Amino acid sequence: MNPLAYFAIELNRQNEEQAERARRLRRQRHGEDEPTAARDRLWAAAIHRFAERSAEPNTPERRPESRPAAGQPALGYPAA
């Protein structure tokens, strides 16, 4: 796995812990504010998905193959 992916996953974990602490403090001060809690959960889920995608291998086998459109010459080759 890419070392940067490990860093992204660890950073995501730390951010989730900080967000949870902030949610607890906010609830203690202001009570449960469901729209804010829902927004925080959406952000946490988005960050988690980003970290998971960053951890996926980025090898040539996984990249989509680029092909010229029908009737177009391949790059670097003259038209037939």
**Each residue of 35-79: pLDDT tens digit?**
777 788 899 999 988 888 877 666 555 555 566 666 666 665 555
- Is residue 55 within 8 Å of 5, Cβ to Cβ? yes
Q: How many Å apart are CA 67 and CA 21, to the nearest integer?
A: 49
| Overall pTM surpassing 0.75 (yes/no) | no
- Using the structure block, give the residue that is written with the tokens 């960050």: 47
Q: Nearest CA to 45 among 78, 11, 12?
A: 12
